[in-house]
Structure 1
Amino acid sequence: MSGYARQDLERPLSFHLEGLTNTTVVIGDIARWKAEGRNVQALNGFHFIDIDELTPELLEKQKADMILSPLVAHNFDAVDVVSKLIELEFRGKYRAVSDDIPDSEIIRKEVQLFAPEIDFDLLLMPNPELGFN
């Protein structure tokens, strides 16, 4: 595991969300999440949407300063989200969430090469089966 990935595991999620004052838009497969019993109701500071709902009007209405999504979802991945954010001229932060993966730095570099104007990073979540707390 790279030092950067280890550092991500040791930082709380609040570290990655620090300094945000507006809404964080969470992109996911909302119908699937609901069917799995996940809570996707609006939470204070978070707004849940499907990728097709990501529009300039939504970003303006929500005053979105961060976008969160899975790195890989059932019907999209981080490259799809980045492409849409470029199209929308989004200037906030985009964070993709994933299980701890080997060589996460490669993904960061690929996205930065593809879209240098996007403030992108990975939030790596430890796998509980590996004994991380």
Structure 2
Amino acid sequence: MKRGNGGSTNPKPGPEETGTPRRVLIIGATRSLPLALQAMEGASLTVTQFSDVNSRLLDRAEPDIVLAPLFSNDFDITDLAAELVRLGYDGELRAFSRPLPAPKIVVSELRAFWPELDFDLIILPGD
């Protein structure tokens, strides 16, 4: 069962090397996710809600990367990271957010809690 290769010492070639479309799993997409991202070219997108995240979804979507808001009404990135690790995912996880006062601290904390994941932030333009 493929779950990503963020923690692997012998990573599989990524979409860039194989020429295959990047598989993107978007959890809890909101209006703050730019329309351009929702219509990414050369990518296979699966959009769902946090309540639908389970092993069956990961098996079907086989994501190369998971995108989700840093905070939402239903969950935050810590909830999602914990669930993904519990399900065996060890690939890329990107949280998107409006500008933060100390984004490096957020990234550092989340990487420390979940070293299995390749975590980073995508800072969206402010209003």
TM-score (norm 1): 0.68
Q: How does 1:50-65 map to 2 (within 5 A)?
A: 50-65=49-64
Give the Cα separation in 2 of the matches to 1:102 and 1:42. Answer: 29
Aligned residue number for residue 3 of structure 2 = none
Note the C-alpha offset of 1:21: 3.3
In our comparison, the structure showing a higher alpha carbon Rg is 1
Aligned residue number for residue 125 of structure 1 = 124
Structure 1 position 115 matched with structure 2 position 111? no
- Structure 1: which 5+ runs fail to align? 1-17
Aligned residue number for residue 79 of structure 2 = 80
Aligned residue number for residue 95 of structure 2 = 96
Q: Deviations over 1:32-80 (max 9, x none)?
A: x59xxx9xx9985111111111111111111211100000001100100
One-letter amino acid of the structure 1 residue matched with residue 25 of structure 2: V
Give the Cα separation in 1 of the matches to 2:109 and 2:92. Answer: 16
TM-score (norm 2): 0.71
Give the Cα separation in 2 of the matches to 1:93 and 1:77. Answer: 16
SS of the residue corresponding to residue 46 of structure 2 reads strand
Identical aligned residues as a percent:
29
Aligned residue number for residue 26 of structure 2 = 26
Give the Cα separation in 1 of the matches to 2:104 and 2:22. Answer: 28
Note the C-alpha offset of 1:87: 0.2
